[in-house]
Every structure is written in C-alpha cells, then in structure tokens.
Amino acid sequence: MRKAAILVGVALLSFAAVPAPGFAQVSVRDAVPVAAPVIAEPLQVGRQQPFPPPPREEAPRNARKQQRDLLKTKFENMKENADELADLAKSLQEDLNKSNENVLSVEVVQKAQRIEKLAKKIRSTARGF
C-alpha cells in the first residue's frame, strides 16, 4: 500500500515536469502540494494503528525456588573457586620462595594466570553476571 502511494506521488511529480500537448508546463514546486498528501497519507495511517503489544508470558509458579537454587549453586561454586584460589596462592608463594631473582619457572607463570582467571570468575559471579 505504501509503495503504491509513493509510486503514485512520484508519478504525479514526474508527469508534472513534462508538459502535455495543449497544456502549460507545471513546475515541480507547484506539483508538490498536490502530491504531498498522497505520499504522506500511508505514513500517517501507519501511525494511527500501532502494533498490538506482545502477549505476556506467565512466569512458572516455582520461579522463586528455581532462583533460590540458582543462587545457592552460584554461591557454592564461588566458595569452591575461593578455596582453589587460596591453595594456588599458597603454592605460588612457596614456589617463589624456592626460586631466586634469576630463575623463574613456567609453573609460576601458569599458577599466576590461573589465580587471575579464578579471581575474575569469582568477581563476575559475585556481581551477578
């Protein structure tokens, strides 16, 4: 419907620019007030008829229980990650005490990366993301 109205408006504008035999030439400026309502009408009709709102989905009745279980699981995971983080930090400290400033093992770097990942995981879980 819109395309048809726009095409009609464009056709009116294009025919207005070409003089017909026996008629005076009409400028586009004179034809715009005539064609504008034809082009704008479908746009206004679309505004008057909004889309119906989407149907509401009802939450399950046990949503509170599911949310409580999810929070409990996340908290347990955070506790396990914190325990692993503490163990890694202790072992990293022991490894650093055994080495000197000239020698640094690959295990130390790997443990430091694992500590960083666990800390980020705990932080993001605590924020709720």
* C-beta atoms surrounding 120 within 10 Å: 10
Q: What is the pLDDT of residue 58?
A: 64
Task: List, for residues 39-53, the tens digit of each pLDDT value.
Answer: 555 555 555 666 777
Q: Over 80: is that where the pLDDT of 4 sits?
A: no
What DSSP line would sit under the chain, residue for residue? -HHHHHHHHHHHHHHHHSPPTTS----HHHHHHHHHHHHHHHHHHHHHSPPPPPPPPPPPTTHHHHHHHHHHHHHHHHHHHHHHHHHHHHHHHHHHHHS-SS---HHHHHHHHHHHHHHHHHHHHHHT-
Is pLDDT of 109 > 60? yes
Q: Are 55 and 74 in contact (CB under 8 A)?
A: no
Q: CA-CA distance, 13 to 30, in Å (whole number)?
A: 9
Higher pLDDT, 1 or 122: 122
Q: What is the pLDDT of residues 95-106, one digit of tens each?
A: 988 888 888 888
For residues 32 and 13, is the Cβ–Cβ distance under 8 A? Answer: yes
The backbone torsions φ and ψ at residue 125, rounded to the nearest 5 degrees and listed phi first, read: -70, -40
